[in-house]
Amino acid sequence: MLMKSGLIGRALFFCGAGAAVGHWPVQAADTSDASDTVLEEIVVTANKRSQSILDVGATVNAVSASDIRERRIEQITDLVGQLANVDVKDNSPGILPVVTIRGVGLNDFSATNNPSAGVYVDEVYLSSLALLNTDFFDLERLEVLRGPQGTLYGRNSTAGAINVISARPNTDAFSGHVAAGYGNYDTLDIEAVANVPLSDEFAVRLSAKMIDQGKGFFYDTSDQTDVGERDTTLGRFQALWKPSADFQALLKIEGQRTRSEVGAGEFFGALPNGNATCPGSSQCTDFLGYSDPDMDPYIGDWSVDPTYDLNQFAATLRLEATLGTVTLTSISGFIDFDRQWGADTDGGPYRQTDFVETDDIQQFSQELRLAGETGRASWIAGMFYSVDDVTGRYDGNLQDLFNTTYLTLWDQTSRSAAGFGNVDYHLADNLTLIAGLRYTWEKRSNTGENIDMVSLAPGSSLSLVPYGAGPVTLAAVDMTIDDKNWSWKLGLNWTPQDNTLVYASVSKGTKSGGFFSGVATNSGQLQPYSPEKLIAYELGAKYRQRAFDVSASLFYYNYQDVQTFIRDESGGLPIQRLGNVDTATIYGADLTASWRPAGLEGLTLSAALGLLDTKLGEFTSSDGLVPEGNELPNAPDASGTLGIEYARDLAADWILQIQGEGRYSGAMFKDSLNDPLIASDAYWVFNGRLVLSNTRGWAVSLWGRNLTDKRYVTQGVNNLALGYGYRVYGAPRTYGISISREF
């Protein structure tokens, strides 16, 4: 595998530095004895069975329940602060998160699209980007796997997998916790959990969370009000029935109700205004003369109702039976989701490209798998089926620019079926061969229309027909596509000693094709995009001592038919839509380390570094031929984390913890055209906490996030052909106090 000398140099430097500074410990330190310098063993279920992370031949990160609470990992976007070579962005402030792992992601905003990084909640795959807008609560663990997945999972992915694992009921004893916090922006959050054993065979677990943010991050100067308030309530009921050692059933029912507001992007214009350098400056104007010279990304003048309403109901039934020497597992999942939200995509007070979107999603999935051991082999074989139905509409208001309103409709049904298997075969006591295979069939039907409503007079509309002529369909699609593909994995795990793992693997992942469901002005823009394929090569090692662990991996990806966002002006009105780029290459490194120095009891140091080099092949956009060499979107050449935690025993069984962490992201582009106007500069973000706890279960913490109030770009759109563009920024500084009690 070829690596640039600079990339190798940085990797070697970090490996050397790893002995002196250590990635946040993925499980919280046992602060009941601050003198204990032993790092806890980390157990994950990445391979569908409980294993030490040291035995998993892949790059895996795990975040424990205590770390999730202490570091306030409340949404999927918060994961980025804990991981290197992982980027999570919001297409609009607070919604539409997109996960990119090692440069492989999905630069799209459509609810009809499946994430490239598969997100599995209690082993149920989330089929739509829209379903990622949820808040975490009462979790046992989060796991992040890098690289293609499919030979172990219900639905495959090219980028990797994020496993969200809820805390389960148990019949051991009554337990639970309550927590409440208050922070700036008038933010109140309350969480309560109770585990209730009703017998030796039956237990229930009740969980709930409420978030009420009375003041938004944004300020609308047009009506002098805050924008971005949050009002979210979540609840979960679980029931565990375990009548024997050979059978158990777990039912989970949960819901979410949100009545919040969506923020907006920072405007920039196309036309000179005074001495402003154009295009791209907020001091420049759009075609209607608007500019936003205050340079504050959280202050603007917007024309769309920011209301964000969401309702979700989900149910999961997990059955597990031991049948002799094998275990049969059934996982049935159902999700019913709807939401409505608005966006001011021109970033200003005029109704140029405003819209209100409505999404309605129903998803059902069923997975069956058998697992067992035969001689030297540990194996899993399974079948998967799912059906997703996504309907929705954009109600667009273009009246100040095009003198009309606009309607976009879509109705997409996807069916997926797969058979998969994986085997770990022990060639010797310290050498294991891993082999996996998957066959997937997917069928996707889509009907959609883009309609100029010709709703205003006098003047012309997009369709250039006279007022009174009635709505005009500009673009339409009624088509079915199907994909049949194979995914596979081959790997070797070598354990030269009990605390060391060396592994190598090659795997293939696929992501099915689909349909763009956004605004289009001709039917060609709604034609399907092709499936993408990725072959990943990885070489890695893990080493662990009592007080120190380190892991390192090198990887190379051969990426084909990359699904990515491009700018399209073929219909006269420029749009952003999904297309394919024939080829791309990615190579890089992941390195993590944790250390508890023996001479400094209570201290834990941690670090992580991710290095990337990405290159797109040539492709054609609305601007003509784009030559080979552009970088993939959301793929900084370097990213990393640094952390420090110090725990000290105080009097009367009290413990003080001081925690700090920083995350670095290198500069990155936000689209495949590598447009510098919407790129993100390199930045650091720092978080910190003071936690005072005791052995009776009480804890009080002071916390702060983005302590330096860093302004950094997470997404951008260039619509200068219409006179404007906008940039989305990460959240400003937040801070608060929390109190909790475990019982």
Angle (CA) 167-171-172 rounded to 5° is 95
Distance of CA 250 to the CA centre of its chain: 26
pLDDT of 8 over the 50 cut: no
The encoded tokens of residue 452 equal 């100029």
Cis bond leading into 272, ω under 30°? no
pLDDT, residue 9, reads 42
Question: Looking up tokens 């002995």, which residue turns up?
Answer: 19
pLDDT at 35 over 70: no
Mean pLDDT score, 37-41 = 63
Distance (Å, whole) CA 687 – CA 730: 14
Q: Both tokens of residue 32?
A: 């009941």
Q: Is the pLDDT of residue 180 over 90?
A: yes
Q: What is the pTM of this model?
A: 0.89
Q: pLDDT digits over 313-341, tens only?
A: 999 999 999 999 999 999 999 999 999 99
In order of 81, 165, 639, the CA distances from 68 in angstroms are 12, 12, 21
Predicted confidence at residue 579, as pLDDT, reads 79
Q: What is the pLDDT of residues 86-111, one digit of tens each?
A: 998 888 887 888 899 999 988 777 88
705: domain CATH number is 2.40.170.20
Confidence label for 30 from pLDDT (cuts 50, 70 and 90): very low
Write the pLDDT tens digit of every residue in 483-541.
999 999 999 999 999 999 999 999 999 988 888 887 888 888 888 888 999 999 999 99
- What is the pLDDT, as a whole number, of residue 41? 64
Cβ neighbors of 375 (< 8 A, separation 6 or more) are none
Query: Is the preceding omega at residue 306 within 30 degrees of 0, hence cis?
Result: no
Q: How many domains does the chain have?
A: 1
**Residue pair 121/164 in contact by the 8 Å Cβ criterion:** yes
H or E element, residue 402: helix 399-402
- Its domain, for residue 492, covers 5-742
Distance separating alpha carbons of residues 520 and 78, to the nearest angstrom: 33
> Which of helix, strand or coil describes residue 230?
strand
Q: Is the pLDDT of residue 170 over 90?
A: yes
- Give yes or no for residue 609 having a pLDDT over 50: yes
